[in-house]
Amino acid sequence: MRTRERRERFRALLEGDDCVATASVFDPFSARIAEDLGFESGVFGGSVASMAVTGAPDLMGLTLTEFAQQIHRICRAGDLSLIVDADDGYGNAINVMRSVEELETAGAAALTLEDTVLPLPFGAPRADQLISLEEGVGKMRAALAARSDPNLVIVGRTSAAGITGVEDAIRRLKAYAEAGVDAVFPVGVKQRDALAAIHDAVDRPMVFHIASEEVADLSYLATQGVRIALQGHATFAAAMKAVHDTLKALREGTAPRDLPGLPDAGFMKRLSRQADYDARLDAFLT
């Protein structure tokens, strides 16, 4: 599937009436699994990207180049519409424009851009801080100006609800909507009344991270304008635990044939698209 079609599919989700849960993916195989299972979209989070690419926590040590390269690998492997975490755009508004260019070229269907102060400044408390509203609006405008494909979705994200309160979150999201972002992403909203207030005030579809049981029902979220629901990044943690347990068992003397939970050969052949490559071998090497 062409990149444009992936973006059009993602836009169709935003324009629909349902709320769909995304699959957290981190490499070509995880994206293919999500696609094979029928997920409408995938998400590549910044924290997962940092761990998957550099083996380090999410402290802005990952470079834009490394991030874009992994997105390219994921998008090349299948047809999943991918939303990616562009953090703060890797700097000021000019950096935001470069980030949009790179992530668009890599194949992302959508990107989220946040108004958090990143990276952590010297001497600052280890708690999220926000840039000014004016700078946030400037970054959103820069992102919109930088995209060459109008189908690329720009999502304005704020953590204000958990830092300065819901009223400030609404103020910021309204300003980002007025700047022209395609969707908004309020982070840190755990109560239904707060979500309802944002929905009533901001005229944009929402991307939303489910942060509490109170707001965990997809049918309810759909009534509040949420179209894309994020459920965390358990897939990466589960994958690392499986690798750990397998290597530990081997180290302790378990025979490979006795390892629990191993898939059959057909599973890996499906993930690697072995049948497609066999057909190419027959077509071009015989």
For residue 209, the domain's CATH number is 3.20.20.60
CA distance 251 to 152: 47
Domain end point (choices 202, 218, 235):
235
Region 135-163 average pLDDT: 98
252 and 219 belong to one structural domain: no
54 and 156 belong to one structural domain: yes
Q: Which amino acid is at 166?
A: V
Domain end point (choices 195, 211, 235):
235
Which segment, 9-13, 119-123, 260-264, is predicted with the most confidence on average? Answer: 9-13
DSSP, residue by residue, 54-120 = HSS-SSS-S-HHHHHHHHHHHHHT---EEEEE-TT-SSSHHHHHHHHHHHHHHT-SEEEEE-B--SP
Q: Which domain range does residue 276 map to?
A: 239-284
198 and 260 belong to one structural domain: no
Q: Could you give the number of structural domains in the chain?
A: 2
Closest C-alpha among 72, 74, 59 to residue 105: 72
Closest C-alpha among 144, 161, 240 to residue 201: 161
144 and 264 belong to one structural domain: no
213 and 246 belong to one structural domain: no
CA angle 136, 53, 126 (to 5 degrees): 45
pLDDT over 70 for what percent of the chain? 100
pLDDT at 1 over 80: no
pLDDT at 245 over 60: yes
103 and 200 belong to one structural domain: yes
Region 52-75 average pLDDT: 96
Closest C-alpha among 116, 107, 131, 94 to residue 42: 107
pLDDT at 263 over 90: yes
Q: Are 44 and 25 in contact (CB under 8 A)?
A: yes
Phi, psi of 237 (to 5 degrees): -60, -40
172 and 213 belong to one structural domain: yes
Region 60-68 average pLDDT: 96
Sign of CA dihedral 177, 49, 194, 214: positive
144 and 260 belong to one structural domain: no
Kindly report, residue by residue over 233-242, the tens digit of the pLDDT: 999 999 999 9
67 and 209 belong to one structural domain: yes
110 and 34 belong to one structural domain: yes
Quote the tokens at residue 194: 């707060």
Region 113-125 average pLDDT: 93
Burial level of 32, CB count in 10 A (0-12/13-18/19+)?
buried
pLDDT given for residue 146 in this prediction: 98
208 and 258 belong to one structural domain: no
CA distance 49 to 25: 9
Q: Which amino acid is at 110?
A: A
114 and 174 belong to one structural domain: yes
Q: Are 45 and 71 in contact (CB under 8 A)?
A: no
CA distance 133 to 272: 46
